[in-house]
Structure 1
Amino acid sequence: MMRKVMIVLAVLLLALAGCDGKQKNALLAAQNAYASAIRWGEYESAWQRVDPEYREQHPLTELDLERYAQVQISAYRDLDSTVLPDGSPARLIEIGVINRHTQAERSVRYREEWRWDPEKKTWWVRQGLPDLWAGS
């Protein structure tokens, strides 16, 4: 297990080789904050890490929030880190999802893609919140 963690960290560091130190630190902080928000069911907070252009084109509705309230996250695992052709970092994430009503647990895989905003000096998740109902 420790070896896998070291490999993932090495790949992530290589993926960030094109970024300066402040961007690397900002990316790690953004990814940690986003993962923590998802992990603890703070979807409105996680939504604030989503690219503003995406948020404008795909607003989060009350119905969306009600759907997220029906599940509990049991795990948020970084399975793989890569660099996209445009040089942006991406991570393959496995999320453990528990239905609050049935207590049935399942796993969902989700790909996070990150974009650096030089104007705001922050990283954004390019797509919306994870689709926790994929394949359901």
Structure 2
Amino acid sequence: MRAIITTVVLLGLAMLSGVVNAGSRAQARALETTQAAYTAAVRWNDFDAAQGFVEPAYAQAHPLSDLERSRYEQIQISGYREVRVGEDPNGDLRREVELRVINRNTQAERLVRSIEIWRWNPEQKRWWLASGLPDLWKGQ
């Protein structure tokens, strides 16, 4: 009898862990899909589409000005490479990327590193960029 109860409990735990892992796999797939779409938007200079990945609360608190939009129009992204990925202390995903930025007026290319913070929203079952669009001018 004890062996049967132990077996049932172990099977229940195995099933429960399978559900948890399925959720994690779904989150991982969603992250991969979201980041690929965001990367493509940035890489093809579609910053309006990239803005759609920004967390709504952040986007409302930090709207893009006309000046910022015009600055994004003056550049071309020639490279976008993931350098490092990890979890930050808040449990969000922290991704460091390297962007190659060409000034359309001077044709000068420069390398910019940016930190992206990605946050999972369990209600919407999607990832949001909680750090906003990359600051390609380092606050200048």
Query: Higher mean Cα deviation, 104-113 or 58-67?
Result: 58-67
**SS of equivalent residue, structure 2 residue 36:** helix
- Aligned-pair identity (%): 47
1:36 to 18, 27, 40: 40
Pairing partner for 1:20 from 1, 21, 24: 24
Question: Aligned in 2, Cα 1:135/1:66: closer, same or farther, shift over 3 Å?
Answer: closer
Unpaired runs of 5+ in structure 1?
1-16
Bigger Rg, which one: 2
The TM-score, its normalising length taken from structure 2, stands at 0.80
Q: In the alignment, what sits opposite 2:72? A: 68
**Which structure has greater helix proportion?**
2
Relative contact order: is structure 1 or structure 2 higher (C-alpha 8 Å, sep ≥ 6)?
A: 1
| 1:133 aligns with one of 122, 133, 137 | 137
Dislocated runs of 4+, deviation >4 Å: none
Question: What's the C-alpha RMSD, in Å, of the aligned pairs?
Answer: 1.5
Mapped to 2, the partners of 1:43 and 1:61 lie a distance apart of 13
TM-score (norm 1): 0.83
Instruction: Give the match for residue 85 of structure 1.
Output: 89
Listed as ranges, the matches of 1:117-128 within 5 Å are 117-128=121-132
In 2, distance between residues paired with 1:86 and 1:128?
17
CA-CA distance at 1:63 after TM superposition = 2.1
How many residues in Structure 1 have an aligned counterpart in Structure 2?
Answer: 119
Q: Secondary structure at the match of 2:80?
A: strand
